[in-house]
Amino acid sequence: MSSALIAAQVLVALAMACALYRLLRGPRAQDRVLALDTLYVNAMLLTLIFGIRYATTLYFEAALVIGMLGFVSTAALAKFLLRGEVIE
């Protein structure tokens, strides 16, 4: 099980690398925002797998916070792309 969890972490890290490449290269702003959202979700998964690996529920709160911040930041960035300002 330990090796399976490490394999899962490597997979999620590769996914984060893909999203990071798209974030750096993405031709337009909306591609970058989408890549940032994917990066957030993958980071949340990585944190959850850390929690399973070290058998502690402490990582759960971190994953919850990462998910919430990812939602807020993606929504704010989409609003910015739509209107040019976040709070109007």
Partner 1 sequence: MTAQLPAWAAFVVALLVVAGALLAFIGSLGLLQMKTFYERVHPPTMGTTLGTGLVLIGSMIFFTVLEARPVLHEILIGAFMTLNTPVTYMLLVRAALHRDRAEGSDPLEKPTQSPPGR
**Residue 24's CB: how many other CB atoms inside 10 A?**
9
- Min CB(1)–partner 1 separation in Å: 4
Cα dist from 29 to 24, 26, 66, whole Å: 10, 7, 22
Nearer to partner 1, 1 or 87 (CB): 1
Residues near 42 by Cβ (< 8 Å), separated by ≥ 6? 12, 15, 16, 19
List of residues contacting partner 1 (CB under 8 A): 1-2, 4-5, 7-9, 11-12, 14-16, 18-19, 21-22, 28-31, 33-35, 37-38, 41-42, 44-45, 48-49, 51-55, 57, 60, 63-64, 67-68, 71, 74-75, 77-79, 81-82
